[in-house]
Amino acid sequence: MRRWLAVALAVLTVGGVFGAGRFVQPVAAQQMGDFDSQETHAKVKDFIVYAPEQQTAVAGKRSVLELNFRVLDGLHVNSHTPTSELLIATTLTLDAAPGIKMEQPVYPAGATYSFSFAPNEKLDVYSGGFTVKLPVVAQAGDRTIQGKLRYQACDRAACYPPKTLPVQVAIAAR
Give the pLDDT of residue 134.
97
Residue 57's Cβ-count burial label (10 Å; 0-12, 13-18, 19+) is: buried
How many CA atoms within 13 Å lie on the side-chain side of 59?
Answer: 9
The verdict on pTM exceeding 0.75 is: no
Question: Does the domain at residues 28-173 carry the CATH identifier 2.40.30.10?
Answer: no
What ranges do the domains of the chain cover? Answer: 28-173
Give the pLDDT of residue 118.
76
Q: Which residues touch 122 (CB under 8 Å, ≥6 apart)?
A: 83, 112, 113, 114
Query: DSSP letter at 29?
Result: G
Triad 94, 31, 119: Cα angle to 5°: 80
Segments of the chain with pLDDT less than 70: 1-46, 117
Give the pLDDT of residue 114.
85
Give the pLDDT of residue 135.
98
Query: DSSP letter at 97?
Result: B
CA atoms of 169 and 19, how far apart (whole Å): 33
CA 106 from centre of chain: 14
Give the pLDDT of residue 8.
33
